Homo-oligomer: A and B are copies of this chain.
Amino acid sequence: MSIAAFCGSFDPITKGHLDIIERASKMFEEVYVFILSNSNKNSYFSFEQRMHWLEQACAHLENVHCQVQEGLSVEACKSVNATVLVRGIRNTVDFEYEKNIASMNLLLDESIETICLFTRDEYAHCSSSNVKELLKYGKDISRLVPECVAKEISK
């Protein structure tokens, strides 16, 4: 039985994130989604807000659990006995970035395996950065984020 983890800032959770979570939830017994409490990049939304949306968006997935991440990703994995770290990759720049992170994580803990899912073409532009860029200009973001997020933000 394999347990997987998916770590991120989810600032906010996008349709792209949710798609990866749903796909992982079909492959693994349990999926722990870790949300960084203190991201390096100052977060746009508060931790509480981000966690609230993450939980709402994942509510329909029985084997998905949302948790706070304090330390490194491999430590988060350890804390829930996850042996698989799931990542989404959109393009070659992501690829080079993730390859480095995966090498580092291997160094930290050989028992944790990184796997990559290709971002679905229809979600290629659904990044949190894009959401924030659109919000800055008061634009509609409903096609980028789960319905629950879109509803609350539009208010």
Chain A interface residues toward B at CB < 8 A: 1-2, 23, 26-28, 71-72, 75, 83-84, 89-93, 95-100, 102-104, 106-108, 113-118, 120-122, 124-125, 127, 130, 133-134, 137, 139, 143-144
Contacts and interface: CB of A to CB of B under 8 A. Distances in A.
Copies of this chain = 6
Contacts of A133: 104
Contacts of A26: 2, 83, 113
Contact of A100 (B72, B107, B130): B130
A91 to B, nearest CB: 4
A127 B100 contact: yes
Contact of A113 (B2, B27, B75, B93): B27
B89 A137 contact: no
A74 to B, nearest CB: 9
A117 B118 contact: no
Given A26-B83, A27-B2, A121 B121 contact: yes
Nearest to A92: B92
B117 A117 contact: no
Contact of A23 (B98, B107, B113, B124): B113
